[in-house]
Amino acid sequence: MKKSPKIKVFVAMSGGVDSSVAAALLKKQGYEVTGVFMKNWSEPVETYSKKKSLCWIDERRDAIRVAAKLGIPLLTFDFEKEYRKQVVDYMFRGYKAGRTPNPDIQCNKLIKFPLFLKRVLKMSAPACRQAGIFIATGHYIKLKTQNLKLKTFSKLYQAKDKEKDQSYFLWTLTQDQLKHCLFPIGDYLKSEVRQMAKKMGLQNALKKGTSGICFIGEVNLREFLKKKIKEKTGKIINTEGEVIGRHPGIFFFTIGQRHGLGIAGEKPYYVADKDVKNNVLIVAEGKNNPALYKKETELKEVNFINAEMAAVKRQSVLARVRYRQPLSQATLYKKDLPAPCLRMQEAGKKYRLVFRKPQKFVAPGQSAVFYSKNGEMLGGGIIV
């Protein structure tokens, strides 16, 4: 009798402890596991780094060591060209337009999941594709499936570890992608993941997690942006319209920013708004200044994990407009507009998010992500 092929899983391995334990858990569960290291950025960051960051060569070396320990092969996928064009250039365009784009979300939307999955499916034999092909990552999020009306739907939920939950960054995923996805560590605390890595003898068990821009690391944002955006001095005004300082370019600041303003008062100043047309930065004094809060915001490029929810005109949700911000009660309204009124990708998908209590630091370009009361991540959109 011909033996059925094992279900294959390709695990995105960054060299960190989370993706390493994800690969180990999947192997233990009986999958045929292959590690994949994504080379997305190789440019040195010394000139704009806040501290010395590991380069991709070091990260790949860590991934190789873990793969050897687990007894699995490790492939390297080079997506640097696509990453530079679709994530880094997108980031520069956003800041130049006065917005605050989120490169991590853009990377998940256009690189980590679609390109990774497409490459894996293309290189897999028909027999393997028939048995099942999956990709997996070390994201802290839960994936559950539900059968409804003879269809199988994937649902995403907040991770067990609420401090490490990464659902905020994954609202752009689709059902076609999720049916091929696995997230093995969503049911564990970070401390439990480190303990497992230590018991397995993985050399990166205590390795510090990465921060900053996805695949680039922690950088001095202003110095990084200056690679493509020239300084343009302008006025800093307070909420009364008084000029109280000068700035080197509003592109280098984001809503809610406190440091780097070069102005002092009885209370600290925060960026409340940006007048892009006139190159004016508006600041508010005091962390609870009413100018820092918004009652509502419009959204574009809205995506629902369950596409059927897009037909609902009005729905109550829990929302967050910044990573790790507490969830807030809100109502999401949909406006149906004719295609000529909007860019093609936004036609019929204009939304308004109204908060029950005004929310702080609502920044254009960032994401508003929606949840249900039971922790399901429903989707999200870009703040206009």
Catalytic residues: 107, 214
Which of 84, 346, 51 shows the shortest CA–CA distance to 210?
51
For 88, half-sphere exposure in the C-beta direction (CA atoms, 13 angstrom radius) is 21
- Partners of 287 in beta bridges: none
The residue type found at 92 is: F
User: Rounded to whole angstroms, how far apart are CA atoms 301 and 381?
Assistant: 5
Would you list the DSSP string of 305-374?
A: SSGGGGG-SEEEEEEESSTTPPPEEEEEEEE---GGGS-GGGTT-EEEEEEEEEEE---TTSEEEEE-TT
User: Rounded to whole angstroms, how far apart are CA atoms 154 and 181?
Assistant: 10
Which DSSP state fits 125?
Answer: -
Say what angle helices 56-70 and 17-28 make with each other, to 10 degrees.
Answer: 20
User: Rounded to whole angstroms, how far apart are CA atoms 4 and 183?
Assistant: 24
Which DSSP state fits 49?
Answer: B
Q: By three-state DSSP, how is residue 201 classified? A: coil
DSSP H stretches of helix in 132-189: 175-178
User: Rounded to whole angstroms, how far apart are CA atoms 292 and 250?
Assistant: 17
Residue labelled with tokens 């109502």: 331
Which DSSP state fits 43?
Answer: S
Q: Quick one: tokens of 329?
A: 């009660």
Q: By three-state DSSP, how is residue 17 classified? A: helix
User: Rounded to whole angstroms, how far apart are CA atoms 246 and 244?
Assistant: 7
Q: Quick one: tokens of 143?
A: 């994936």
Which of 208, 216, 214, 207 shows the shortest CA–CA distance to 47?
216
